[in-house]
Amino acid sequence: MTARLDLTADPVELTAALVDIPSVSEAEADLADSVEQALRRQAPHLEVVRNGDAVLARTNLGRGSRVVLAGHLDTVPINDNLPLRRTGSGDDEVLHGCGTVDMKGGDAVMLHVAAALTEPRHDLTFVFYDCEEIAAERNGLNRIERELPDWLAGDLAVVGEPSNASIEAGCQGTLRVEVRTRGRRAHTARAWMGDNAIHAAEPVLRRLTEYTPRQPEIDGLRFHEGLQAVRVEGGVAGNVVPDSCVVTVNHRFAPDTSLAEAETHVREVFDGFDVTVVDASQGALPGLSEPATAELVRAAGGDPVAKLGWTDVARFAARGLPAVNFGPGSPTLAHTREENVATGDIRHCADVLRRFLG
């Protein structure tokens, strides 16, 4: 039976209701059903469509600008952290459980705004999508972009990923490569007859430990790049000199660098080695000089910070929209068993968006 959501409730209570509907990636149907039914019943001012396990809603008021608000419905696998648990009270209350931070608090804020603002000063589009937490090619935004591209058009995108209830602008790009070394197999009792590929990877690791990452400043925000080994694979058996070794390296690069430039840089770092790119995503510039972004920053208060990671703001930036992350909770708690969000963060985000959009 589909759970009934009350979009007029306090966004804290709406968060709690969303969290108690499990929605691990590829199993979002129940939550998508609840969101769709709630929007159709309680927000008649919105056009609502269903696309797979994504739910989209928008106003069509003929305003001069449009703001897109996006949030994923899925979570990482549950880790003995459901159902929802609450601690504290009043302004000090905290919600604990899978998805509280990443990112059902943000979804609740957007659903609250969707129902509350019947006459916004910008046209609004709300995108609640599936499969963000797994392989990039499964991300529901890919399907929406193919099948309903006009639903992603606008003048500003706000992604409700956790950002400590402040503006995190832009995001870093990410590049993952495999650096391979080769050797020749031999019995370890006669190791001199072979060539150890794992030993040959030592210069790869040394270059990584000696690497100095850039820390560029973009739009007044400090980004911090990185180049890290994240996996080493090699070995045949306990008595065999291995003939192959692969070091997987992740490069996080600032958004003033293109994918092509990032790849060229990594290949230069590992000059002389066999390098294969296995995954790549472009970053997003902060766009703080854009009028709509600057207005949201003022509404949020405080100083914006650089997003030191990759989020779907990059997808919107690639479509020409300035985009920011703005949601309740600390990103450092995402994907952890201890995931939790302060209710004050949820209410602050809802207040800011109502003020900015209404």
Q: State the DSSP code for 21.
A: S
* pLDDT tens-digit map of 326-336: 999 999 999 99
The amino acid present at 13, given as its one-letter code, is: E
**Do residues 17 and 159 both lie within one domain?**
yes
**Residue 51 domain-assigned?**
yes
Is residue 6, in this structure, part of any structural domain at all? no
Structure tokens given for 112 = 């609250």
Q: Which of 28, 102, 130, 132 is catalytic?
A: 132
Whether residue 6 lies in the annotated active site: no
Query: Are 166 and 202 found together in one domain?
Result: no
Q: What is the mean pLDDT of residues 13-32?
A: 98
Q: Across-strand partners of 326? A: none
pLDDT at 262: 98
Check 28, 74, 130, 339 and give the catalytic one: 74
Phi and psi angles of residue 204, each rounded to the nearest 5 degrees, phi first: -60, -50
Q: What is the pLDDT of residue 287?
A: 87
CA dihedral angle for residue 217, residue 164, residue 281, residue 142, rounded to 10 degrees = -140
**What CATH number does the domain containing 103 carry?**
3.40.630.10
Q: What does the mean pLDDT of the chain come to?
A: 96
Residue in the structure block whose two tokens are 């159902």: 83
Shared-domain flag, residues 181 and 147: no
* Token pair for 55: 């739910």
Same domain, 46 and 121: yes
Helices (H) and strands (E) in the chain, counts: 9, 19
Q: Residue 122 falls within a domain, yes or no? A: yes
| Same-domain pairing of 111 and 217 | no
Structure tokens, 218: 């973009």
Is 145 annotated as catalytic?
A: no
166 shares a domain with 56: yes
- Count of CA atoms in the C-beta half-sphere (13 A) of 348: 20
What is 55-100 written as a DSSP string?
Answer: EEEE--S--S-EEEEEEE--BSPP-S--S-EEES-GGG-EEESTTI
Domain count across the chain? 2
- The tens digit of pLDDT for each residue in 213-224 reads 999 999 999 999
CB atoms within 10 A of CB 274: 11
Whether the pLDDT of residue 1 is over 80: the answer is no
End-to-end CA distance of the chain: 34
Mean pLDDT over 133-156 rounds to 94
d(CA 16, CA 100): 8
Write down which residue in 228, 260, 281 finishes a domain: 281
**What confidence score (pLDDT) does residue 290 get?**
86
297-351 pLDDT, tens digit per residue, is 999 988 999 998 889 999 999 999 999 999 999 999 999 999 999 999 999 999 9
Q: Is 3 domain-assigned?
A: no
Which domain does 196 fall in, by range? Answer: 173-281
pTM tops 0.75, yes or no: yes
Are residues 165 and 43 part of one domain?
yes
